[in-house]
Structure 1
Amino acid sequence: MPNVFRARLALFVSGLCLLAGGAACDPSGDRDTRPTASGTAPASGRVDLLAGDWSHLPGGTVGSGGVRIHGLGRQIVEQDGTGGQPHPPVNLRGPQLTVHGDFQVSATLHRPAGQIASLYLYGEVPIVYDEWLQNRRGLRVTVSDRDLKLTVWDGRSAAPVADRTAPITSPATITVTFERHGGVLMLSTGDTRVSVPDPGVFDAGSVTFGVDAVPGAPDWTLAALDADGVAVRDTPLAGQSSQSPDSLRVLADTTGRRLPIGAAMAAEPLISDDGYRTLAATQFSMLTTENALKPQFVHPGPDTYDFTEGDLLADFAAANDMRVHAHTLVFGEANPRWMQQVALADRERVMTEHIRTVAGHYRGRVAEWDVVNEPLSPDDDGPDGRPGLREHLWQEAMGESYIDKAFIAARAADPEAKLYLNEFGAEADGPRWDALYDLVVRLQERGVPIDGVGFQSHIHEAGDHVDPAVLRSHIADLAELGLSARISEIDVYGESPSVQAGQFAGVLGACLSEPTCTSFSIWGITDRYGSTAEHDSYPLETGDELPWDQQLRPKPAVAALRDTLRAARR
């Protein structure tokens, strides 16, 4: 019998076996652990992947019949509130596969009529870059009433490189089998098959799973998921058990201030990138939730909350003895489309319910909140030449009182957390600082429970800089009002390595010199995942604003920060 025909026959028989429940093909009654049709011996035999952790899957509920999948309709809007880029759920804390050579994954789906079931196999986990999702290498298996579809991305474009469809008559319960075999990606069920050349989807040697469903349609169930030719590895949450005496967090902890040193962090690279995770755990004592708790990520539907990525960050912080600064409850940007369309009369209720639910969920797990982010207009467009309030859905409905209501709701939801107002461009003297200071005074006069102000300290242009002396004076001005300050989001344009290093060190020194500056946090760790990456760029065009470069190598800024912390010990 020709080898090609033998392989196809074996794959067809394998599909029949799976439809029959799998055990019928093995006279011992156990699941088949023989080599797959590709001839590759499995790394661990046939592995039951539903035995792993599916309890943290966004939209997933684990039950006796498998994992029920509920469509969340997660989307990422542009910064101006337009668009709606799909953001399918990824099971970051679930089973992750190590693969080398050929392998096979089979899934049994129970799918009600009218629902579209999607199962993703990611060779590289998609990454969110400041409200933009970069599609990296991966594929999607889609089953509908009439179609079986295989869609493949090679990571070089937002568009798929292959999209193959075969007609099927789909029963309520169907088993589909995916196989990488001899340079081809194949998808089959029974005698129906689609295949495409493999563009190297899994060349990184790993597989992470995701799922999706149509919101509003009946839930579908992932009843079985197993694999051949793979090894399963645990999801890492803890970092290094020991700390280098030269790490930022150790040096900061040995200063008289014991200043928390933090960074904005994202769930996806914490799980998928060992080097990023190691830097996060060893260099920092505070974690800021970069995107996971912005409204559009945590509250994708009117009655739908998704805490999975925020919980992962909070658990990572707890496992590594880090404080959590949560970002952000109320913002004029990063709001889901449904929230933008809420009637004026309902916006106060929606805002306060959002705060009560999200801050209440993390009560006792976070140390601080950015309650209101960037309340001032980005332009000096007020009647007195100062920036007025930023115009957005909350300000439109409630005027300045939306800030009062937000802080009051946050205090009620978590009385122990410190509550911050966070703003950019207030480090320098001028109309922006004056407007922010006056706003804070008005809030205090009205009894608003504000604890402090975050200075973002972004430096995004050549020639721009922060004067440490002026920054210190602003922190001192807030201290006279009884308020704390923090450096909340610093990143520095890479005008030159020495200039960048000097700016990081100067701002850290200013914070260390003022006893009411409570923490110093960088807006990211490495340029590999920095928020200033060029939007929708393939290949990725990263920024150069962060202390570690794309290869996770320290820049001179890291040495400058270390020297500043060492000087503070003397």
Structure 2
Amino acid sequence: MPNVSRAWPTLFVSVLCLLAGGAAACDPSGGRDARPSASGAAPASGRVDLLAGDWRHLPGGTVGSGGVRIHGLGRQIVLQDGTGGQPHPPVNLRGPRLEVRGDFQVSATLRRPAGQTASLYLYGEVPIVYDEWRQNRRGLRVAVSERELSLTVWDGRSAAPVADRTASVTSPATVSVTFERHGGDLVLSAGDTRVSVPDPGVFDAGSVTFGVDAVPGAPDWTLAALEATARDGGGVAVRDTRMAGQPTQPSDSLRGLAEATGRRLPIGAAMAAEPLVSDDGYRTLATTQFSMLTTENALKPQFVHPGPDTYDFAEGDLLVDFAAANRMTVHGHTLIFGEANPRWMQQVALADRERVMTGHVRTVVGHYRGRVAEWDVVNEPLSPDDDGPDGRPGLREHLWQEAMGESYIDKAFTAARAVDSEAKLYLNEFGAEADGPRWDALYALVVRLKGRGVPIDGVGFQSHIHEAGDHIDPAVLRSHIAALAELGLSARISEIDVYGESPRVQATQFAGVLGACLSEPTCTSFSTWGITDRYGSTAEHDSYPLEPGDELPWDQRLRPKPAVAALRDTLRAARR
């Protein structure tokens, strides 16, 4: 493939390179096989070698001398009720991001054994995982099987592709494919076979992030080469993923104000891996405003344990490493839950469920021993309804409760403590902030757990406020935190979000709950269930275009709401 030789393309590649990593990263020789420097930028060149970037953290990928071997994980996202199965192919979130301008070309060499379909994804916008669903934004899939070459394109306006073109091929074991954005079209070719569709603006944002997939159970395939070339006045450069944010926090940030109080209360948020690496504004808010990170989805069972013998820690590791790079404490969410369980786990025989559950707990906690400070060991153990014989919620009915009764809670906590004696272990529940049957049931449950010697350290009050008029009384919340303290248990505000009834009411509710936590010495942290409505879990499920909620402190344009000022004022008052 020819190098870019004309003055303007060469100049543009050089400028992109300088923006990505500085002059030290640029090779003035215009070498044919450009590799990233330590700064993460590619030297100026007509061709960049994308496999020279970081592929070690690709889910299902193994880096070797012959390229990246791809193992099919069969990742799917089930709905909250356990049904469905939305495909969730891996994205190389920590790998090289190709910065592009104008026309460009990506060439790949695939070694594909018989019976395997090799799939390579090029994302113009990284897909976002909301609460139990994945929003497919702009991107495309290149797939090669023994008899078929296909190009599938998403324009971000629907879960369904806007185009899906196939052509018959006779694919050898090693096949080279070329994808081009050229002259307003997206073109895929392998040998003499070619498919083309009009470009709906897939890469108009100026970047490409890569992903892969494979058929589970079939032999692994290998991505043996992956290169990008600028074409016809375009430009290419490589920027690796940023893991660290600003080295210092503004003094008036939530984090800075909290650290200036006598309590030094950790201020946290549930965070998602995808926007941390793809949205600079989101990452800046995360690193400047918060000192604690809750793993929003990445460590739920269906994401971390997609197959009976398969664990996928890539996205959890990204969050934990990001927290370490930015001096954040990690709260792991969640080990055991009646929801968010993969289909295979739901189908485990009754007699085998204790073994599967405790093995899951030991493996996940063991993987993060010393790096995750605390865990939601059991999430939402109570029934959503007041359906117990005494008019209080009983236990939520699900696969673990069905097999072990209430003792599943004991066994989960015991397994976690056996693996990590230092991590703090929490039970996490919603709706217990107010007096009434739900609080009574939760309190009675933790009394029983303490009586049986279960190694529980605390209780998380989720503090969701989901509708108008559904308010939390700070005085009642304080009394519940104090009641748990008398049992020797800590408490934390674990998932607060507040329905946007009005900016004033929303601000008052956020500030009141924070004030309650600050006033009780056994309240160990205050965490919101997300940062911004742009990526909030209350977004309408499977919506195109996205219908965000209005529950979080920053709006969908990353602008602070009055709630942020109210939280800051509450923290300032705690310094006096």
Q: Above 0.5 in TM-score?
A: yes
**3-state SS in 2 of match to 1:328:** coil
Q: Which residue of 2 aligns with 1:479?
A: 485
Moved over 3 A (4+): 30-33
Which residue pairs with 1:369 in the alignment? 375
Secondary structure in structure 2 of the residue aligned to 1:287: strand
Residue equivalent to 2:187: 186
Q: Is 2:552 the partner of 1:552?
A: no
Separation (CA, whole Å) in 2 of partners of 1:315 and 1:489: 22
Per-residue CA deviation, residues 57-108 of structure 1 (Å, 9 max, x unaligned), is 0000000100000000000000000000000000000010111100000000
Which of these residues, 402, 421, 424, is aligned with residue 427 of structure 2?
Answer: 421
* 2:233 counterpart residue number: none
Paired with 1:353 and 1:467, the residues of 2 have a C-alpha distance of 40
Once the two structures are superposed, the pairs formed by residues 369-518 of structure 1 within 5 Å of their partners are 369-518=375-524
Q: Tell me by how many angstroms 1:474 deviates.
A: 0.1
CA distance in 2, matches of 1:495, 1:564: 21
SS of 2:102's partner is strand
Q: CA deviation at 1:182?
A: 1.1
Q: Residue 11 of structure 2 aligns with which residue?
A: none
CA distance in 1 between counterparts of 2:90 and 2:417 reads: 31
Aligned partner letter, 1:322? M
The Cα offsets for residues 406-441 of structure 1, whole Å up to 9 and x where unpaired, read as 000000111100000000000000000000000000
- What residue is the counterpart of 1:564 in the other structure? 570
Residue matched to 1:278: 284
Counterpart of 2:362? 356
In structure 1, C-alpha distance between the alignment counterparts of 2:33 and 2:544, rounded to whole Å: 42
Question: What is residue 174 of structure 2 aligned with on the other side?
Answer: 173
Letter paired with 2:203: F
Size of the aligned set, in residue pairs, is: 535
Is the contact between residue 368 and residue 419 of structure 1 (CA under 8 Å) also seen in structure 2?
yes
- Mapped partners of 1:126, 1:530: distance in 2: 14
Distance 2:543 2:364 in 1: 32
Task: Give me the whole-angstrom Cα distance separating, in 2, the residues matched to 1:242 and 1:83.
Answer: 44
Stretches of structure 1 lacking an aligned partner (at least 5 in a row): 1-27, 34-41
> Offset at 1:193?
0.5
CA-CA distance at 1:339 after TM superposition: 0.1
In structure 1, the partner of 2:213 is 212
SS in 2 for 1:515: coil
Instruction: Please report how far the alpha carbon of residue 43 of structure 1 lies from its aligned counterpart in structure 2 after TM superposition.
Output: 6.1
CA distance in 1, matches of 2:550, 2:45: 42
1:233 & 1:444 partners in 2: Cα distance?
51
CA distance in 2, matches of 1:185, 1:175: 17
Alignment of 1:235-254 (within 5 A): 235-254=241-260
1:312 maps to 318
Q: After the TM superposition, which residues 278-357 of structure 1 pair with which residues of structure 2 at under 5 Å, given as runs?
A: 278-357=284-363
Q: Distance in 1 between matches of 2:262 and 2:431?
A: 29
Question: Equivalent residue for 1:79?
Answer: 80
Equivalent residue letter for 2:135: Q
CA distance in 1, matches of 2:544, 2:44: 34
Secondary structure of the 1:118 match is strand
Residue 53 of structure 2 corresponds to: 52
- Aligned partner letter, 1:217: A
1:31 shift after superposition: 4.2
Q: 1:124: which partner in 2?
A: 125
Would the alpha carbon gap of residues 535 and 43 (structure 1) be closer, same or farther in structure 2, given more than 3 Å must change? farther
CA deviation profile, 1:355-400 (whole Å, cap 9, x unmatched): 0000000000011000000000000000000000000000000000
Unmatched 5+ stretches in structure 2: 1-28, 35-42, 231-235
Percent of pairs with identical residues: 89
Provide closer, same or farther for how the CA distance between residues 82 and 435 of structure 1 changes in structure 2, counting only shifts above 3 A. Answer: same
CA drift of 1:254 comes to: 0.6
Measure, in 1, the Cα distance between the counterparts of 2:119 and 2:503: 46
CA distance in 2 between counterparts of 1:487 and 1:198 reads 47
In structure 1, what is the equivalent of residue 65 of structure 2? Answer: 64
| Residue 203 (structure 1) aligned with residue 173 (structure 2) | no
Assess if the C-alpha contact under 8 Å between 1:547 and 1:554 holds in 2: yes
- Measured in 1, the distance between the counterparts of 2:515 and 2:248 equals 27
| Superposed displacement of residue 158, structure 1 | 0.4
Distance 2:340 2:137 in 1: 22
Q: Tell me by how many angstroms 1:242 deviates.
A: 1.7
Are the counterparts in 1 of residues 255 and 267 from structure 2 also a CA contact under 8 Å? yes
Once residues 77 and 245 of structure 1 are traced to their aligned partners in structure 2, the CA distance between those partners, rounded to angstroms, is: 42
- C-alpha change, 1:246 and 1:32, in structure 2 (3 Å) is closer
Classify the secondary structure of the residue corresponding to 2:152.
strand
In structure 1, how many angstroms separate the alpha carbons of the residues matched to 2:46 and 2:391? 71
Tell me which residue corresponds to 2:147. Answer: 146
Structure 2: distance between partners of 1:464 and 1:441: 27
Instruction: Kindly indicate whether the alpha-carbon contact (under 8 Å) linking 1:137 and 1:202 is maintained by their aligned counterparts in 2.
Output: yes
2:385 partner amino acid: D
Query: Contact 1:43/1:228 (CA < 8 Å) preserved in 2?
Result: no
For normalisation by structure 1, the TM-score amounts to 0.93
Find the counterpart in structure 2 of residue 539 from structure 1.
Answer: 545
Alpha-carbon distance in structure 2 between the residues aligned to 1:144 and 1:462: 53
Deviation at 1:44, TM superposition (A): 3.0
- Which aligned pairs between 1:73-112 and structure 2 lie closer than 5 A? 73-112=74-113
